[in-house]
Amino acid sequence: MTALPDDLARALDDALDRVPASRLAPVVERLIGDYRGGVATVSSRQGPILRTDDDAAAYAAYRMPATYAAVHDGLSRAAEVVGRLAPRTLLDVGGGTGAAVWAASRLWPSLRAATVLEGSEPVIALGRRLATGADDAAVRAARWERTQLGAATTLPEADLITVSYVLGELPEPVRETLVDEAAARASTVAVFEPGTPAGYRRILAVRERLIAAGMGVAAPCPHDGACPITGDDWCHFAARVDRTSRHRSLKGGTLSHEDEKFAYVVATRAPGQHADNRVLRHPLQRKGLVTLRLCTGDGAIADRPVPRSRREHYRAARDTGWGDAWPPP
Ligand SMILES: C[S@@+](CC[C@H](N)C(=O)[O-])C[C@H]1O[C@@H](n2cnc3c(N)ncnc32)[C@H](O)[C@@H]1O
């Protein structure tokens, strides 16, 4: 479970308390419909999706905890295998209300400066307001720049560039420009997309470009070869997110948590960047046997049985989850 940090939860509450739930709920409903129904994709959209203060508040209320959890999860997987990742500067492209800034800063106390490139003024205003409530100085000092990302965009240099839940809203040439720019300007690039087949395909294309630019994959892949997943399967992971009562009432759900499905790639020029294997599914647990579906270091898919007779391994396998490195780093 990725709990939202207390300071972010508080900042969100403070900001959202200013908007009556009766006003927010229909906006959340519309945004859920837009994102699910593909209105958010560039081919079917007229103008930006998040245009008003209420749009920005609704997005932060129902999506920011989930995008925070996904980014935190993916970045921490990369940090596990690349011990020396300690970014001092972050550029968050299409950064919205700053979920990736909060996640990176929580993970790396080394972070000193963060810049968010974002096109929507109300989103920028809310991101700035939330950041004032952060415990981490790097979040409080983050700079939002109003930028319209396009095929001619050039990016400034940063140790880490994040592109989180943005590419699906951009046409292919813009996606390609941003990924190539990111690879040229940063030593580590992290890209996140929804955990859908379409999101996975975009991540695959990004992965190819980052490898072609000379980077190595830190997570999730344990190799830089071709993705072994074929057919109608797709590589994705899940981050469990606590739901606050506001979150539950806005989304009309009753569960105290939700699983944010996401696809991602973190690539880096830092040395030592592979897990031995990556767990691709919830492990299958039977009496005395755990079976792990793995993407292996030699670029294959394998079901690895871990019987109780292999005591240490078995204990570790029982504590291992979908998305973890195997064996544990
Ligand atoms: C789905 S939100 C993701 C926000 C944030 N990265 C996160 O993970 O929560 C996509 C963001 O990209 C921004 N965006 C989309 N197209 C853009 C463009 N062409 N230029 C600048 N920002 C853009 C939107 O305004 C929105 O804030």
Residue 193 Cα to ligand 1 middle (Å): 12
What pLDDT score does 39 carry? 54
Count CB atoms within 10 A of the CB of residue 174.
18
Least trusted range by pLDDT, from 8-17, 24-33, 150-159: 24-33
Query: Separation of 50 CA from ligand 1 center, angstroms?
Result: 8
pTM of the model: 0.95
Residue 20: the pLDDT is 87
Query: How does strand 186-194 pair with strand 158-164?
Result: parallel
pLDDT beyond 90 at 190: yes
* From 163, 166, 174, 178, mutation site for ligand 1 pocket: most ligand atoms within 8 A of C-beta: 166
Ligand 1 midpoint to CA 47 (Å): 12
DSSP state of 149: -
Handedness of CA 193, 177, 270, 163 (dihedral sign): negative
The confidence band for 40, taking pLDDT boundaries of 50, 70 and 90, is: low
Q: Is the dihedral of CA 259, 265, 268, 273 positive or negative?
A: positive
Q: Is there an atom of ligand 1 within 6 Å of 194 CB?
A: no
Mean pLDDT of the chain: 93
Atom of ligand 1 nearest to the CA of 94: 12
- pLDDT value, residue 311: 93
pLDDT of residue 314 exceeding 90, the answer is yes
99 lines ligand 1 (CB under 6 A): yes
Nearest CA to ligand 1 atom 14: 94
pLDDT by residue (tens digit) across 192-231? 999 999 999 999 999 999 999 999 999 999 999 999 999 9
Rounded to the nearest whole angstrom, what is the distance from the C-alpha of residue 147 to the centroid of ligand 1? 10
CATH 3.40.50.150 location in the chain: 6-268
- Parallel/antiparallel/unpaired status of strands 301-307 and 289-296: antiparallel
* 74 touches 190 (CB < 8 A): yes
pLDDT at 256: 78
Closest protein CA for atom 13 of ligand 1? 94
pLDDT digits (tens, 9 = 90+) for 86-117: 999 999 999 999 999 999 999 999 999 999 99
CATH number of 6-268: 3.40.50.150
